[in-house]
Amino acid sequence: MTRYHIVRGDITKLRVTAIVNAANEDLRSGGGVDGAIHKAAGVELQKECDALGGCPTGQARLTQGYRLSAEYIIHTVGPVWHGGDKGECALLGACYANVLSLAVKSSIGSLAFPAISTGAYGFPKDRAARIAIGMCRLLAAPDSPFSEIYFCLFDEASVVLYKNCLADVL
């Protein structure tokens, strides 16, 4: 049975099998979580990302974790928020579905997510939290290989929001 944890902190410091990177389509080091992950992992990460040739919105790609505590990084590209009528919710759901599918294929036991698309991409935090927790609860079935799923968040308000969403679905 999967255990869920909601924490405030630095995702690059978590001791999990894989962390999720809220990446851009070029898989180039950017700002926010993406920049922090690239910086902590080291230059080898960018070399591997360059060899992957990018990642479309809603999809996911796997790399080594390099200098991180995590063995792997799963990069996913969340949608930019355009008001909600451009398929943003479905694309964000696809991010979680594709990350979880890739994690199952790679026998990843513990996984940490940031709040995908809620920073510079402007996705409303409450909608993003419901999608994140809903997709994980739906797809991390009792027979899945996940022992633990973390939601690693930047601020206390997001922690409260995710805890409330998790309590609603349990």
Angle between helices 125-139 and 88-105 (to 10 degrees): 40
Residue 79's CATH number: 3.40.220.10
DSSP characters over 122-168: ---HHHHHHHHHHHHHHHS-TTSS-SEEEEEESSHHHHHHHHHHHHH
DSSP run (H or E) holding 37 = helix 32-41
Q: Quote the number of domains for the chain.
A: 1
The reply to whether 26 belongs to the active site is: no
pTM exceeds 0.85 for this model:
yes
pLDDT tens digits, residue range 66-77? 999 999 999 999
DSSP characters over 52-106: HT---TT-EEEEE-TTSSSSEEEEE-PPPPSSS-SSHHHHHHHHHHHHHHHHHHT
pLDDT tens digits, residue range 80-115? 999 999 999 999 999 999 999 999 999 999 999 999
Q: Catalytic one among 26, 34, 85, 126? A: 34
Is the per-residue pLDDT at 156 higher than 90? Answer: yes
Token look-up 């690693």 returns 152
pLDDT tens digits, residue range 30-40? 999 999 999 99
Q: Provide the domain limits for residue 38.
A: 3-169
Q: Is 160 left (phi over 0), alpha (psi -120 to 50) or beta?
A: alpha
